[in-house]
Chains A and B, each alone.
Chain A
Amino acid sequence: MAVAVIAMAVQRNLFGVVVLFSIYSFLMATVLVALDAVDVAMTEAAVGAGVSTVLLLGALYLTGGTESKPMQRPLLPLALSIAVGAVLAYGMQGLPAFSDPQAPIHSHVAPRYLEQGPKETGVPNVVTAVLASYRGYDTLGETAVVFTAGVGVIALLRRRTRKGK
């Protein structure tokens, strides 16, 4: 994935950037399956490699550009990005190590969902149970966000029925 990202940053042909983005999404979905996040991997594969790529290709066709100009003075943004990375690396040493069962993420609420979820909701898939029942408000908000994005794009890209404007 790192190779795909570096290639995307350097690549100047925009169609190549879109194809590399699709490859990156598929690789991310594979990594997510390896991390036992099967629902998230299915969503990432469908949304990232499917819908995002189609929309990017559509926008690429509409804007018509296939090349982008080289960057003058790339040193200041590169130094800034590396500085941000250094601060993040300093901060992440306090985070728990990989697959630590004593990490705080595994206490409080998560064991309760894993034990009580199928008994209270009757649904073996704990992710669906949490998404639709325990955290139903969040899903309502997310559906509203998707709806608002659709309405926003309709407002921006609606075809003008009167010519000459």
Chain B
Amino acid sequence: MSVIAGHLGYWVTIFLMVAGLYMLIARTNLLKKLVGLAILQSSVYLLYIAPGKLIGGTAPIIADGFAVYSNPLPHVLILTAIVVGVATLALGLALVVRIREAYGSIEEDEILEQED
């Protein structure tokens, strides 16, 4: 079953992505939604880095004695993605704090009731 063994990294990625998506859309608490978004983003990191690894290779730092290196290009993209992800999380948390001060609660249904 090479579909399972060769693609194990992708199965883990899909599971994490689905779990993050579920937390994002199914929970009413705003903080839990943000945590679900963070999990969704981190599953994408795995999606990019797993194909770059070569078995028998090493980290992409050129040194004597190593011949095979893992691919450095996804590492660069994901470094940027991690920092942008924490920037998004910080802005989202600031918004949650202001919503709490304006509406008195961080449960989505209570906020929508106050809107009507």
Which A residues are within 8 Å of any B CB, using their own CB? Answer: 1-2, 5-6, 8-9, 14, 17-18, 21, 24-25, 28, 31-32, 35-40, 43-44, 47-48, 51-52, 55-56, 58-60, 62-65, 68-69, 71, 74, 77-78, 80-82, 84-85, 88-89, 92-93, 95-101, 103, 105-106, 109-110, 113-114, 117-118, 124-127, 130-131, 135, 138-139, 142, 145-146, 148-150, 152-153, 156-157
Chain B residue with Cβ nearest A92: B10
Establish whether residues A65 and B53, one from each chain, have CB atoms under 8 Å apart when the complex forms.
no
Pairwise interchain contact A62-B63, C-beta atoms closer than 8 A: no
Measured between beta carbons, the chain B residues less than 8 angstroms from A35 are 49-50, 52-53, 70
Q: Which of B46, B79, B97, B107 has the most CB of A within 10 A?
A: B79
Cα distance A68–B109 in the bound complex, in angstroms: 12
Contact A127 B90 (CB under 8 A): no
Other A-B pairs, 18, CB within 8 Å; known A24-B39, A103-B51: A2-B12, A9-B19, A21-B39, A36-B53, A65-B29, A65-B31, A77-B25, A81-B18, A84-B21, A89-B11, A98-B7, A98-B9, A127-B60, A130-B72, A130-B76, A146-B84, A146-B87, A156-B97
Is residue B6 contacting chain A, with contact meaning CB distance below 8 A? yes
CB distance from B57 to the nearest CB of A (A): 6
Q: Give the number of chain B interface residues (Cβ < 8 Å).
A: 78
Q: Would A125 and B61 count as touching, CB distance under 8 A?
A: yes
Q: By CB atoms of chain B within 10 A, which of A31, A52, A96, A131 has the most?
A: A52
Interface SS of chain A: helix, strand, loop or mixed? helix
Q: How many A-B residue pairs have CB under 8 A?
A: 248
Instruction: Tell yes or no: B14 within 8 A of A by CB.
Output: yes
Cβ B90 vs Cβ A149 within 8 A: yes
Interface: B62 (CB within 8 A): yes
Tell me if A99 and B55 are in contact (CB < 8 A). yes
Contacts of A48 in B (CB 8 A): 38, 42, 82, 86
Please pick, from A5, A31, A125, A139, the residue contacting B80 in the complex, using a CB distance under 8 A. A139
Tell me the chain B residues, 91-113 only, with Cβ under 8 Å from chain A: 91, 93-98, 100, 105-107
Residues of A within 8 A of B16 (CB): 1-2, 5
Q: Which residues of B contact A60 (CB under 8 A)?
A: 31
Whole-angstrom distance between the alpha carbons of A38 and B57 in the complex? 13
Is the Cβ of A97 less than 8 Å from the Cβ of B7?
A: yes
Report which of A17, A65, A80, A113 forms a contact with B35, defined as CB distance below 8 A: A17
